[in-house]
């Protein structure tokens, strides 16, 4: 498989992990960028100079917009200072809030809202964790959180003490009956891995044990170790 195909597949997978509003924002931004580039190319191809007085009009418009922006900025600063002074006087000295204890969370049963109390986890990371859990079929080790796109190592260390994992609820894949698409959907399997398994399965008609995959070197040892817990034979 070519490198371009690998990059395209990785981009599609990471785009799938994003929340829906982020997916829409990326698509809209890409569409606007393409429209802008097309408009620039089209305008450069059109003949003829600018109409008379266009440059003077553009300069005056730029000056007016800068002046309006400066006035709005000054008004915002004035309103903010007035609000802060009045708000602080009415409240008096700030009070310290009592820190609420963070409960232990089962990573394989929690929804995105249940992850929000964890330190460093906002709506974006909570959504990515849930999406990656669905792709995997469930977490079996806490270290797998490090595979979530963009999750910092510092955040992972901070939430370790608040997470437990019930590995008994893992969703497994039947290697002798799963479709090509179902196998390829798993993050630990590449195109070549799925192709090798399907060809071997078609040749043997039946896979008696997972050891056949390891013994016949269908996958790399590192791949087999990571995904074996997610596989099932009849």
> Which band of pLDDT confidence, cut at 50, 70 and 90, is reported for residue 10?
low
Q: How far is CA 120 from CA 117, 126, 207, 231, in A?
A: 9, 10, 44, 33
Listed ranges 33-37, 39-43, 68-72, 176-180; the one with the highest mean pLDDT: 176-180
Stretch among 81-85, 148-152, 189-193, 216-220 having the lowest mean pLDDT: 81-85
Q: Tell me the C-alpha distance between 123 and 228, whole Å.
A: 31
Average pLDDT, the chain: 79
Say if residue 16's pLDDT is above 70: no
More confident residue, 131 or 64: 131
Each residue of 150-202: pLDDT tens digit? Answer: 999 999 999 999 999 988 889 999 998 899 999 999 999 999 999 999 999 88
Each residue of 103-140: pLDDT tens digit? Answer: 789 999 999 999 999 999 999 999 999 999 999 999 99
Average pLDDT over residues 54-59: 60
Say if residue 72's pLDDT is above 80: no
More confident residue, 98 or 210: 210
Each residue of 194-216: pLDDT tens digit? Answer: 999 999 988 887 788 899 899 99
DSSP 8-class letter at 137 = T
Say if residue 146's pLDDT is above 70: yes
Q: How far is CA 130 from CA 17, 39, 57, 210, 230, in A?
A: 9, 40, 53, 28, 17
Superfamily of the domain at 105-169: AF1531-like domain (1.10.150.280)
Q: How many CA atoms lie within 13 A of 93 on its CB side?
A: 2
Q: How far is CA 177 from CA 38, 140, 171, 201, 206, in A?
A: 48, 23, 15, 9, 9
pTM of the predicted protein model: 0.58
């Amino acid at each position: 498989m070519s490198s371009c195909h690998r990059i395209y597949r990785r981009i599609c997978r990471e785009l799938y992990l994003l929340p829906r509003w982020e997916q829409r924002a990326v698509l809209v931004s890409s569409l606007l960028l393409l429209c802008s580039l097309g408009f620039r190319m089209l305008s450069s191809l059109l003949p003829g100079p600018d109409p008379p007085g266009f440059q003077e009009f553009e300069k005056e418009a730029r000056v007016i917009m800068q002046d309006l922006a400066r006035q709005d900025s000054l008004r915002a600063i004035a309103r903010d200072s007035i609000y802060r002074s009045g708000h602080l006087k009415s409240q008096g000295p700030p009070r310290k809030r009592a820190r609420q204890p963070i409960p232990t969370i089962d990573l394989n049963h929690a929804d995105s809202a249940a992850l929000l109390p964890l330190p460093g986890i906002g709506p974006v990371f909570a959504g990515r964790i849930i999406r990656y859990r669905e792709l995997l079929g469930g977490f079996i080790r806490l270290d797998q959180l490090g595979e979530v796109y963009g999750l910092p190592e510092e955040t992972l260390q901070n939430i370790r003490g608040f997470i437990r994992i019930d590995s008994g609820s893992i969703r497994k894949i039947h290697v002798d009956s799963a479709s090509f698409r179902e196998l390829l959907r798993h993050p630990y399997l590449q195109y070549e891995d799925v192709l090798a398994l399907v060809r071997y399965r078609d040749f043997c008609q039946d896979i008696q044990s997972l050891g056949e995959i390891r013994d016949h070197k269908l996958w790399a040892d590192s791949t087999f170790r990571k995904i074996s817990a997610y596989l099932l034979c009849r």
